[in-house]
């Protein structure tokens, strides 16, 4: 997912755009208000506060979550059947000491991987020797060869963009954030020869191997995942950071998203882990342009659908139409017999608090057939590690808005299936002319309207 950085116009292939500015007074929780917000506070005041609530588990498949953050106290899922630190699989689920979730980016010795190549770099490395010197015109159609050619072209384009900055690194020409980003791109993300799996020690092509990793659900860099978790369920009304959308939620941290592209194997296993350990909602604020094993991820998505688990996915930050541009993982293909497979996987675009032409965030992907609904994703102030707070923006922030809404509605209407919750969210979105041709619903999530819909449904 991309954003622009300062005057360098660098394509930031990251999960959300980072801003260090403090929020303007009165705009701290704009996303929970009316206007272009989700009317969350109105829903609490008029409907939800009067209803008994039950805790709802939301799995955050991400970079990790700061489990000790002051604004997430009481909001972290705990595996009650697991004895912390005894190095035993007490609950027999195949994962040792998975007390607050699981880390698919670690090894049995407790160490964690942080940097990773982009998928296009992995593809070039894996298939380069086979295809590099072959004239495409001499081959019959070969899907893997086509993927390799596209990956190589995209990688070369990125490398040519970043290579001129290599000699400038370490000479005081950039701020630390920009310099770290450039170094990561050149040394890790775009480097086909960087081995981003040696520490973990598994075979990322072997989908029969499910029980690798460790119980470190926080990891070495939990900034992105902590912000996502805060949007979903940070303590409400304590005047620290922004208010979470859901007030009775338990965050399960499933670490599968490194600084770089996630592996398909990790995504598939993370989804299955979340489902098998009781998550009703799965937030997925990540995405990539190439997915060699997308069918395996689709099998995991189908498994979640079969268990009535709602998956919320960020639409992406390339300002692209994903009806025609790949952004993995994808919604399940159209199925006219069982439409639940698409309704239990929602792609979320990002809106701002601005009106008219400024409503759609400049970075947000869109799609009349693939993006379900929009939610606030610009200038979102919430939790980051070390009990700190920052503004972040991206569809990575819009997705947990909707995950939080789903959890909130499920907590007050436990009799509703997640398919019904999804239907309530999409059916009642507030319509905007600017969104009608770029999303399925043509609207922004409205918690009050969704709660009212479910209240009428269960009179």
Q: Give 158-167 pLDDT, tens digit per residue.
A: 999 999 999 9
Whether 147 is in a domain gets the answer yes
Percent of the chain surpassing pLDDT 90: 88
pLDDT at 90 over 60: yes
Q: What is the pTM of this model?
A: 0.94
The continuous run of DSSP H or E covering 153 comes out as helix 143-162
230 and 162 in a single domain? The answer is no
256 and 319 in a single domain? The answer is yes
175 and 251 in a single domain? The answer is no
Output the average pLDDT for the chain: 92
103 and 124 in a single domain? The answer is no
173 and 258 in a single domain? The answer is no
37 and 71 in a single domain? The answer is yes
- Residue 21: per-residue pLDDT: 45
178 and 215 in a single domain? The answer is no
Whether 198 is in a domain gets the answer no
159 and 262 in a single domain? The answer is no
Phi, psi of 457 (to 5 degrees): -65, -35
224 and 275 in a single domain? The answer is yes
pLDDT at 137 over 90: no
Whether 163 is in a domain gets the answer yes
**What integer is the mean pLDDT of 292-303?**
97
Whether 13 is in a domain gets the answer no
pLDDT at 138 over 90: no
Percent of the chain surpassing pLDDT 70: 93
Number of domains within the chain: 2
| 151: containing domain | 119-189
**What integer is the mean pLDDT of 170-183?**
93
Whether 9 is in a domain gets the answer no
pLDDT at 4 over 50: no
103 and 182 in a single domain? The answer is no
Whether 196 is in a domain gets the answer no
The continuous run of DSSP H or E covering 65 comes out as none
CB 454 within 8 A of CB 409: yes
- HSE (CB half, 13 Å, CA atoms) of 198? 5
CB 56 within 8 A of CB 407: yes
CA distance 235 to 226: 13
- Residue 445: per-residue pLDDT: 98
């Amino acid at each position: 997912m991309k954003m622009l950085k300062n005057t360098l116009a660098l394509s930031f292939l990251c999960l959300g755009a980072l801003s260090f500015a403090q929020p303007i007074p009165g705009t701290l929780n704009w996303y929970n208000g009316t206007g272009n917000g989700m009317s969350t506070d109105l829903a609490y005041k008029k409907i939800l506060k009067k209803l008994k609530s039950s805790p709802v588990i939301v799995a955050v498949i991400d970079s990790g979550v700061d489990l000790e953050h002051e604004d997430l106290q009481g909001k972290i899922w705990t595996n009650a059947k697991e004895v912390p630190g005894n190095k035993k699989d007490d609950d027999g689920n195949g994962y040792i000491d998975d007390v607050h979730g699981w880390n698919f980016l670690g090894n049995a010795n407790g160490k964690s991987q942080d940097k990773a190549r982009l998928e296009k770099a992995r593809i070039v490395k894996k298939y380069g020797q086979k295809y590099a010197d072959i004239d495409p015109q001499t081959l019959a159609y070969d899907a893997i060869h086509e993927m390799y050619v596209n990956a190589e072209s995209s990688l070369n384009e990125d490398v040519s963009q970043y290579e001129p900055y290599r000699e400038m690194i370490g000479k005081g020409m950039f701020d630390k954030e920009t310099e770290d980003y450039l170094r990561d791109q050149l040394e890790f993300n775009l480097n086909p020869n960087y081995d981003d799996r040696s520490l973990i020690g598994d075979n990322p092509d072997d989908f029969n191997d499910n029980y690798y990793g460790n119980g470190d659900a926080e990891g070495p860099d939990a900034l992105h995942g902590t912000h996502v978790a805060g949007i979903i369920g940070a303590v409400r009304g304590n005047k620290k950071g922004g208010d979470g959308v859901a007030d009775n939620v338990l965050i399960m941290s499933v670490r599968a998203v490194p600084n770089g592209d996630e592996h398909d194997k990790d995504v598939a296993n993370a989804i299955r882990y979340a489902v098998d350990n009781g998550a009703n909602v799965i937030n997925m604020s990540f995405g990539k342009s190439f997915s060699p094993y997308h069918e395996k991820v689709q099998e995991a998505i189908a498994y979640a659908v079969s268990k009535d688990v709602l998956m919320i996915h960020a639409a992406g930050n390339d300002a692209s139409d994903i009806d025609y541009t790949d952004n993995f993982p994808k919604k399940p293909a159209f199925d006219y017999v069982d439409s639940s497979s698409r309704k239990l996987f929602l792609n979320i675009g990002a809106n701002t608090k601005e009106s008219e032409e400024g409503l759609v965030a400049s970075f947000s992907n869109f799609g009349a057939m693939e993006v379900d609904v929009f939610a606030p994703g610009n200038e979102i102030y919430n939790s980051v590690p070390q009990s700190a707070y920052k503004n972040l923006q991206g569809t990575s922030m819009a997705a947990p808005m909707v995950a939080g809404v789903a959890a909130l509605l499920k907590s007050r209407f436990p009799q509703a299936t997640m398919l019904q919750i999804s239907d309530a969210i999409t059916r009642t979105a507030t319509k905007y002319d600017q969104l009608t041709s770029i999303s399925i619903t043509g609207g922004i999530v409205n918690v009050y309207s969704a709660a009212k819909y479910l209240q009428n449904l269960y009179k």
